[in-house]
């Protein structure tokens, strides 16, 4: 029986979509509902990639975000549920043709199932069999922030505080909208996912005092998640703290890898080796991209291992920088160039023989966690190697992480 969902409030906004906290009307279960507006074929292609990857992961790993359902909005009050394995053919056609069927943004807002007041919102008899999303927020069809590019004119700048930086975000223009006749208008794709009440990894870890035991748990969980994804032949391609969510449980925080819009999946190749499948699109986020991606070279799933290494180093040593504009503190590692900072991947792209200082030799404030041991430092150096083939495979990570973290302490699994 089709379920009804209620939107409560906006909880997040990314480059392409908006995420709301919601509830399943019949059970009261709290869920996250992500709205992906179908305005351009480029965006639609990313949505289909995300849907494909999330369906593949299903609910089979505790550290990967679970997809509960998917809805396709095709009219003012029409939300068509997609069955497991079913793809929205209208969106596939839009992505293949490179054009989106008629309707302007103004019409889209007017036809939004959330644009009417609550007293005006009615469901006709013919619509009662379809799920309806009832909105309790004041913002609908809000434009997403434009994504960043990887070229920039100003370098991140060191502040006077320890382990912080200032950098100017790089943005690219939003894709131009194209219209075509003869296609049924798909206003948006809605993904219903499990709700994570701890925010993202940045928000959670930086909101409290450093906790080495918790840091170790986070690292283990992330390593397990990436090993699982690579085992399913999924390369994430945009691993960063913003794309890792935290769910609070009685047993402790559980991290969830999310946002698969840039992911790539190898299908029909049960024995394929992801380290042999090459990609060419330059994508990701500056401070987490691998050197081969920075250099515009073809790359493999080993780029994920580099991104994960940057996150591990930042989490274990609490390395942060500040983002100009929002002034939001971010977890991330970098190379100092005088007063300026350079992403690790870019620095290694320019100088593959660069020796990284792990652990950091800078002055450590009393609140920072103790430096990692030799085994952890060796693991970080391997994960951050300029040569992708020198990095450990995802399948090897869990064992290496456990072994490295057990140096001088007990190694515990992720909850």
As annotated, the active-site residues are 238
C-alpha distances (whole Å) from 112 to each of 64, 118, 132, 174, 176 are 31, 13, 11, 22, 21
Residue 342 phi/psi, 5° resolution? Answer: -130, 135
Positive or negative: CA dihedral 98, 104, 110, 111: negative
Q: Which residue has the tokens 């059970």?
A: 27
The distance of Cα 361 from the centroid of its chain, to the nearest Å, equals 31
Count of positions (residues) in the chain = 415
**CA-to-CA distance for 47 and 262, rounded, in angstroms?**
9
In 3D space, the residue among 178, 105, 172 whose CA is nearest the CA of residue 145 turns out to be 172
Task: Please give the backbone phi and psi of residue 58, each rounded to the nearest 5 degrees, phi first.
Answer: 50, -130
CA distance 98 to 91: 10
Starting at the earlier edge strand, list the strands of the sheet with 340-343.
Answer: 329-331, 320-323, 165-167, 157-158, 340-343, 334-337
């Amino acid at each position: 029986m089709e379920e009804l969902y209620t939107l409560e409030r906006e909880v997040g906004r990314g480059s392409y979509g908006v995420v709301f906290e919601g509830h399943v009307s019949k059970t009261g279960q709290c869920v996250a509902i992500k709205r992906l507006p179908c305005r351009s074929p480029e965006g639609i292609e990313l949505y289909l990639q995300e849907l494909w990857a999330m369906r593949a992961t299903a609910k089979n790993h505790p550290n990967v975000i679970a997809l509960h359902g998917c809805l396709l909005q095709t009219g003012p009050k029409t939300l068509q549920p997609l069955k497991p394995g079913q793809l929205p053919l209208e969106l596939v056609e839009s992505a293949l043709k490179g054009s989106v069927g008629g309707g302007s943004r103004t019409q889209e807002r007017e036809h939004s199932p959330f644009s009417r007041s609550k007293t005006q919102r009615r469901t006709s008899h013919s619509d009662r069999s379809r799920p309806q999303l009832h909105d309790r927020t004041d913002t609908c069809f809000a434009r997403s922030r434009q994504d960043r590019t990887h070229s920039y004119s100003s370098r991140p700048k060191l502040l006077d505080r320890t382990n912080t930086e200032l950098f100017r975000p790089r943005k690219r223009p939003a894709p131009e909208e194209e219209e075509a006749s003869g296609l049924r208008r798909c206003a948006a794709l809605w993904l219903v996912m499990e709700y994570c009440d701890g925010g993202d990894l940045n928000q959670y870890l930086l909101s409290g005092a450093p906790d080495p035991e918790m840091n170790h748990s986070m690292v283990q969980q992330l390593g397990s998640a990436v090993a699982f994804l690579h085992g399913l032949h999924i390369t994430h391609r945009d691993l960063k703290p913003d794309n890792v969510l935290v769910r609070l449980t009685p047993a402790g925080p559980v991290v969830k890898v999310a946002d698969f819009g840039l992911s790539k999946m190898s299908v029909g190749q049960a024995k394929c080796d992801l380290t042999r499948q090459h990609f060419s699109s330059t994508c990701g986020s500056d401070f987490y991209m691998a050197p081969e991606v920075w250099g515009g070279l073809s790359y493999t799933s080993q780029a994920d291992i580099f991104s994960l290494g940057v996150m591990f180093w930042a989490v274990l040593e609490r390395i942060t920088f500040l983002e100009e504009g929002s002034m939001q503190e971010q977890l991330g590692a970098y190379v100092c160039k005088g007063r300026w900072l350079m992403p690790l991947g870019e620095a290694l792209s320019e100088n593959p023989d660069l020796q990284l200082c792990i652990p950091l030799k800078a002055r450590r404030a009393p609140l920072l966690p103790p430096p990692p041991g030799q085994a952890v430092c060796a693991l970080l150096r391997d994960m951050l190697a300029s040569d992708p083939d020198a990095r450990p495979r995802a399948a090897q990570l869990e064992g290496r992480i456990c072994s490295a973290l057990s140096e001088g302490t007990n190694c515990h699994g992720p909850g």
